[in-house]
Amino acid sequence: MKFSNRVINLNESPIRKLAPSSNKAISDGKKIYFLNIGQPDIQTPKSFFEAVKRQKIETLKYEPSQGNRKLIESIVSRFKEDDIIFDYKDIIVTNGASEALLFAISAITDPQDEILIPEPFYVNTVSILKQFSINVVPILTVEENNYHLPEIETIEKLINTRTKAILITNPNNPTGTVYSEEELKMIVKLALKYNLYIISDEVYRPMSFDNKKATSLATISRKANDNLILIDSVSKKYSACGARIGAIISKNERLMSHIIKLAQARLSVSTLDQVGATELYKLDSKYYIKISKEYQSRRDVVIRELEKIDGITYSYPEGAFYILVTLPIENAEYFAKWMLESYEYNGETVFVAPAKDFYLKSNKGINQIRIAYVYNKNKLKRALLILKKGLETYLKNF
């Protein structure tokens, strides 16, 4: 039987591809610290569950394809508190940020079109682009510059008649970079000059550190209203990954009239998850300040522990909860697998994400790992001690 080139050409997720190795490690009795995946350990706000429990529903019916009205109004209010003004008609609720991105790509591209994206990038984003036969054009960023964007002339050279959009995640996954207002203005300038869409994934926006603000592209220029597609989600900022509630947001009325057709084709999003998410968006600014401080303190612990490991280099995260680390080895994927299958420190080991698939070319990122600091500080200290001991043992034997 023949399979489609669409699936054959997809890479496995570097975040999940070593799951069989971790499953075996668990069955062998090892305790694993999962630093490979962005699954926060922070408690989901109780208001989510309380809202669901209050429902007295005898039959679960379809919600409107656009989304639950109360949820959309709650999202509008949440953005308004940040001085970002959207209307009800500007928002469509989606099955997580992934479906929002899928809708955006479906609506604005045809096969062989091109989308620019800073590299390294979140691998699942590129997997979606590949499913639509979109050519990914990387905007190379480097550790030495903390993965900030290059000069405008460098990016402009990548644009041609097939270019349809620039896609950014701010704060960035996997680098933790928070793009400056000047960088965002540069993106807007290029989008307006070449009539490009900007897809701005802002699911980590409340998580920025050291008094550095992650600015929403929606605040940069009203001239770019028709160009901008914003993606949001409850997964990370509310520690509600399992709810699978996201949103695609744009003031481009013609674009949204097409995207609603895609939403209608998949009918609707989970009723009860929308009920719970409505209450999450009602949380005030104190909640965001609290989680930002918590992740900043975790970042600081990670940096202090990494400073104790010889031979590595790393970026300095400014937001989100990820850090890329360059190891003094040839193949980080082999090392990550070895840590799971062949190493333990007092019965414990760590699961890290090899970073080569966060790059387009297979020769890049081959000696890097991504660490997600999703554990409390004591667990992070323990996990990074195990990583240090494991790397020392690995270097002695290979």
pLDDT(260) > 70: yes
Phi-psi domain of 112 (left: phi exceeds 0; alpha: psi -120 through 50; beta: other): left
Q: Which CATH architecture has domain 46-283?
A: 3-Layer(aba) Sandwich (3.40)
- Both tokens of residue 83? 């001085």
Report the distance separating Cα 271 and Cα 226, nearest Å: 30
pLDDT value at residue 343: 97
Angle, helices 69-81 vs 271-280, to 10°: value is 20
For residue 15, what pLDDT band results from cuts at 50, 70 and 90? low
Instruction: Compute CA distances 322 → 88, 192, 223, 271, whole Å.
Output: 33, 31, 33, 31
Mean pLDDT of 125-131: 92
Strands 368-372 and 353-354: what pairing?
Answer: antiparallel
C-alpha span between 285 and 80 (Å, rounded): 12
Q: What is the pLDDT of residue 362?
A: 79
Looking at the chain, which residues constitute the CATH 3.90.1150.10 domain(s)? 5-43+286-397
Q: What is the pLDDT of residue 8?
A: 80
Average pLDDT for 273-291: 96
Q: Which residues contact 128 (CB under 8 A, 6 or more apart)?
A: 98, 101, 102, 105
Sheet holding 368-372: strands in order across?
313-314, 322-326, 368-372, 353-354
Does pLDDT of 159 surpass 80?
yes
Give the C-alpha separation, 59 to 56, whole Å. 9
- Per the DSSP assignment, residues forming a β-bridge with 135 are 114
Q: What pLDDT shows up at residue 149?
A: 98
What mean pLDDT is reported for the chain?
Answer: 96
**204-229 confidence digits (pLDDT tens):** 999 999 999 999 999 999 999 999 99
Tokens standing for residue 245:
């509630």
Locate CATH 3.40.640.10 in the chain: 46-283
In the predicted structure, residue 247 carries a pLDDT above the cut 70: yes
- Residue 87, Cβ density class (10 Å: 0-12 exposed, 13-18 middle, ≥19 buried): exposed
pLDDT for 283 equals: 97
pLDDT digits (tens, 9 = 90+) for 19-29: 899 999 999 99
Mean pLDDT of 319-348: 97
Q: What is the 3-state secondary structure (H, E, C) of the chain?
A: CCCCHHHHCCCCCCCCCCHHHHHHHHHCCCEEEECCCCCCCCCCCHHHHHHHHCCCCCCCCCCCCCCCHHHHHHHHHHHHHCCCCCCHHHEEEECHHHHHHHHHHHHHCCCCCEEEEEECCCHHHHHHHHHCCCEEEEEECCHHHCCCCCCHHHHHCCCCCCEEEEEEECCCCCCCCCCCHHHHHHHHHHHHHHCCEEEEECCCCCCECCCCCCCCHHHCCHHHCCCEEEEEECCCCCCCHHHCCEEEECCCHHHHHHHHHHHHHCCCCCHHHHHHHHHHCCCCHHHHHHHHHHHHHHHHHHHHHHCCCCCCEECCCCECCEEEEECCCCCHHHHHHHHHHCCCECCEEEECEECHHHCCCCCCCCCEEEEECCCCHHHHHHHHHHHHHHHHHHHHHC
The better pLDDT of the pair 231, 13 is held by 231
pLDDT tens digit sequence for 104-123: 999 999 999 999 999 999 99
Question: Residues 145-164: what's their mean pLDDT?
Answer: 98
What is the token pair recorded at 2? 């023949």
Q: Among all chains, which residue has been given the structure tokens 């800073």? A: 118
Torsion sign, CA atoms 69, 71, 72, 77: positive
- 327 near 185, Cβ under 8 Å? no
Asked if the model's pLDDT at residue 14 lies above 70, the reply is: no
For 291-332, how does the pLDDT look when each residue is reduced to its tens digit (9 = 90+)? 999 999 999 999 999 999 999 999 999 999 999 999 999 999
pLDDT of the residue at 17: 80
* Residue 90 to residue 24: CA distance in whole angstroms: 47
| Domain covering 5-43+286-397 assigned CATH 3.90.1150.10 in the classification | yes
Identify the pLDDT of residue 144: 97
At 29, list the tokens. 């009795």
Structure-derived torsion over alpha carbons of residues 273, 277, 279, 282, reported in degrees to the nearest 10? -170
Q: Does 12 have pLDDT greater than 80?
A: no
Q: Which two tokens stand for residue 265?
A: 């084709």
Model confidence over 360-381: pLDDT tens digits?
987 899 999 999 999 999 999 9
Distances (CA, A) of 80 to 34, 61, 76, 284, 395: 36, 30, 6, 12, 52
pLDDT band for 16, please (50, 70, 90 cuts): confident
Q: What is the pLDDT of residue 52?
A: 97
